A = this chain, B = another copy of it.
Amino acid sequence: MEEKIVRSVDRAPTISDVAQQAKVSRATVSRAFGQPQLLSREMVAHVRAIAERLGYVPNHTARALSTGKAGNLALLVPDITNPFFASLMRGVQGRALGIQYATFLADSDEDPALEDVLIAKLAAQVDGFILASPRLPKKTLLQHAGRRVCVLINRDIPNFARILVDGAKSYEEAVEHLARLGHRTAAYVSGPRLSWSNGQRLRAVLAAGMRHGVKIVQFATDRPTFEAGEACVAGLIESGTTAVLAYDDLLAQGIMAGLARHGLSVPEDFSVVGCDGVLATRTYPPLTSVAIDCQSAGEQAVELLVDVMRGKSASGRRIVLSSDLVIRATTARPRPGGRTYQAPAPASPTRTKSE
C-alpha cells in the first residue's frame, strides 16, 4: 500500500508539443488560449481538445517573460500573526484568484529595512503591490511606486491609490460610551508610532475626550503585542484611570491579562475597548471593540490595484471604509467606591517537556 512517488520523467507538454500533435503552428495554439476570437470555432475546439488530452497547461513563466506581465501580485504586511492582517490576506487572495493572479505574501516583521528588501526582491515577479500599513518613509514608497503599481492600506499619502479604514468615528463613539457610563478619565494605549491608523485613532480619542469631559492619558508601545499590553498595565493602574482604549485587540487582550494579574477584574474595576473585528469575537470575555471588515478591505485593495494597472485613472483614489463600535462585555460603569486593590498574583506556568 506504500505507493512510491513517481517523479515524472517526461517533461510537461509545451506549446510545441500541442502544435505538433494538432498539426498547426505554435502561434495558433497560443491564440487558442489567449485570443480565441481570432480563430475559427472549430480550430479553437480542435486545439483545446488536443491540449486537454496532452494535459497541456500554458507555462506561466514563459508567458510572463514574453508579455512583460507577471500575473502575480504581492501583499506586504507588518505582522501576519495579527488576525487583522491574516483576514486581509484572505480577502486579497480570494479576489486575486478570481482574476487569475497568484499572491506572494511577505511579512516585514514591522521592520522598514526588511520591508524595503522584500519589495525589491519581489518587484521583478509582480505587477503590483498591496502594502498594508507600510512603515517605509514616503520618499522610499514613492520610488517603489515609480517602478511598480502600489496600493496602500491604512497609510494616507496623496497621489497614492489607498484604502483607509476609518476608525475615528468609532473611537469617538467609544469615548462617548465610556463618558456615558460615568468614566471621567481614560487611557489610550497606542500602537506603532509610524502607523497612520494609530495617529488617527489617537487624535479621535483626544478630541472626543475633550468634547465629553474625559481626561485622556497616553501610553506608548512600540509594537502592538500581547506582551506590550501586559507590560503597560502597571503604569495604567498608577495613573488612576478607570478605562482604557487600546490600539487593537491584541493589546487589549494583553491589558486584560495584566489587569487580572494585578487582581483587577474587567469590567468591574476597569473597562477595556479594543479594535479589529477578528480576535474580539474569538476570545472570552467578549471584548467591546471597534469592528473592521478586514476581508473586504483586502478585496477592495485588489480591485483598486487592477483599476490602476489598467490605467483607469484611479491612480490617486482614496477609499475610506467605515467601522463599527460593538459593545460587548468589557465595558461598564466604574466602581463607585473606587478600585479594590489586591496583591499581584504572578502565575508562572508549569512546563512539562514531552520527549
Contacts and interface: CB of A to CB of B under 8 A. Distances in A.
B147 A8 contact: yes
B329 A352 contact: no
Given A64-B61, A81-B83, A354-B323, A89 B102 contact: no
A278 interface: yes
Contacts of A169: 354-355
Interface residues of A, number: 83
B325 A354 contact: yes
Contact of A120 (B57, B65, B81): B57
Given A80-B80, A226-B281, 17 more contacts: A5-B160, A6-B146, A8-B147, A61-B61, A61-B70, A62-B65, A80-B89, A102-B106, A102-B125, A103-B106, A170-B352, A257-B285, A260-B285, A283-B284, A286-B349, A325-B351, A326-B351
A90 interface: yes
5 contacts: A2-B158, A3-B138, A105-B105, A170-B354, A286-B347
A30 to B, nearest CB: 16
Contacts of A3: 138, 142, 159
A80 B86 contact: yes
A328 interface: yes
**How many chain copies?**
2
A61 B322 CA distance: 39
Interface in A77-97: 80-81, 83, 86-87, 89-90, 93, 97
A285 B259 CA distance: 11
A13 to B, nearest CB: 12
Given A86-B81, A145-B5, A326-B349, A125 B354 contact: no
A3 B145 CA distance: 12
A256 interface: yes
A347 B329 contact: yes
Given A170-B354, A354-B170, A354-B173, A90 B104 contact: no
Contacts of A250: 282
A23 interface: no
A113 to B, nearest CB: 13
Given A107-B90, A121-B102, A7 B146 contact: yes
Interface in A317-344: 322-329
Contacts of A281: 226
A12 to B, nearest CB: 7
Given A145-B5, A166-B355, A324-B352, A107 B89 contact: yes
Interface in A209-246: 226
A80 B90 contact: yes
